[in-house]
Amino acid sequence: MYFSVMKSTPLIAHFETYLPFEEVEISLIESRISRRKLKRREHLLVNGDICRHYTFVVKGVLRLYGIDPSGKEHNILFAAENDWIYDITSFHEAKPGESNIQAIEPSEVIQIAQQDLYHLYVNIPKLDRVFKVITEEKYVELQNRVFQNISSTAQQRYTYFYEKYPNLATRLPNTQIASYLGITPEFLSMIRKEMVQGKTKK
Amino acid sequence: MYFSVMKSTPLIAHFETYLPFEEVEISLIESRISRRKLKRREHLLVNGDICRHYTFVVKGVLRLYGIDPSGKEHNILFAAENDWIYDITSFHEAKPGESNIQAIEPSEVIQIAQQDLYHLYVNIPKLDRVFKVITEEKYVELQNRVFQNISSTAQQRYTYFYEKYPNLATRLPNTQIASYLGITPEFLSMIRKEMVQGKTKK
- Chain B contact for A118 (CB, 8 A cutoff): no
Is A186 buried (19+), middle (13-18) or exposed (0-12) by CB count in 10 A? exposed
- B142–A142 C-beta distance less than 8 A: yes
Residues of A in contact with B129 (CB under 8 A): 121, 125, 128, 132
Instruction: Give the pLDDT confidence of A172-183 residue by residue, as tens digits.
Output: 999 999 999 989
Q: Which chain A residue has the Cα nearest residue B129?
A: A128
Amino acid letter for position A124: I
Higher pLDDT, A104 or A8: A104
- Chain B contact for A92 (CB, 8 A cutoff): yes
Instruction: Give the pLDDT confidence of A107-163 residue by residue, as tens digits.
Output: 999 999 999 999 999 999 999 999 999 999 999 888 888 888 778 889 999 999 999
Which of A136, A138, A143 lies at the smallest CB-CB distance from B76?
Answer: A143
Round to whole Å and give the CA distance between B114 and A170.
38
Which of A121, A135, A144 lies at the smallest CB-CB distance from B135?
Answer: A135
Residues of A in contact with B75 (CB under 8 A): 150
- B132–A182 C-beta distance less than 8 A: no
Domains of chain B, first to last: 2-151 (2.60.120.10), 152-202 (no CATH)
In angstroms, what CA-CA distances link A92 with A52, A112, B1? Answer: 9, 13, 38
- A125–B149 C-beta distance less than 8 A: no
Amino acid letter for position A35: R
Q: Taking the alpha carbons of A129, A131, A137, A143 in that order, is the dihedral positive or negative? A: negative
Which SS3 state, helix, strand or coil, does residue A1 take? coil
- Chain B contact for A89 (CB, 8 A cutoff): yes
Q: Read off the pLDDT band of B8 (50, 70, 90).
A: low
Q: Would you say the ipTM is above 0.90?
A: no
Average pLDDT for A8-37: 95
Round to whole Å and give the CA distance between A87 and A189.
30
With beta carbons less than 8 A apart as the criterion, state whether B181 and A178 touch: no
Q: Read off the pLDDT band of B2 (50, 70, 90).
A: very low
Is residue A6 predicted with pLDDT exceeding 70?
Answer: no
SS (H, E, C) chain B: CHHHHHHHHHHHHHHHCCCCCCHHHHHHHHCCCEEEEECCCCEEECCCCCCCEEEEEEECCEEEEEECCCCCEEEEEEECCCCEECCHHHHHHCCCCCEEEEECCCEEEEEEEHHHHHHHHHHCCHHHHHHHHHHHHHHHHHHHHHHHHHHCCHHHHHHHHHHHCHHHHHHCCHHHHHHHHCCCHHHHHHHHHHHHCCCCCC
With beta carbons less than 8 A apart as the criterion, state whether A60 and A20 touch: no
With beta carbons less than 8 A apart as the criterion, state whether A166 and A160 touch: no
Instruction: Measure A4 CA to nearest chain B CA, in Å.
Output: 29
- Chain A contact for B94 (CB, 8 A cutoff): no
- B125–A125 C-beta distance less than 8 A: yes
- A143–B89 C-beta distance less than 8 A: yes
The per-residue pLDDT for B94 is 87
Residues of A in contact with B145 (CB under 8 A): 146
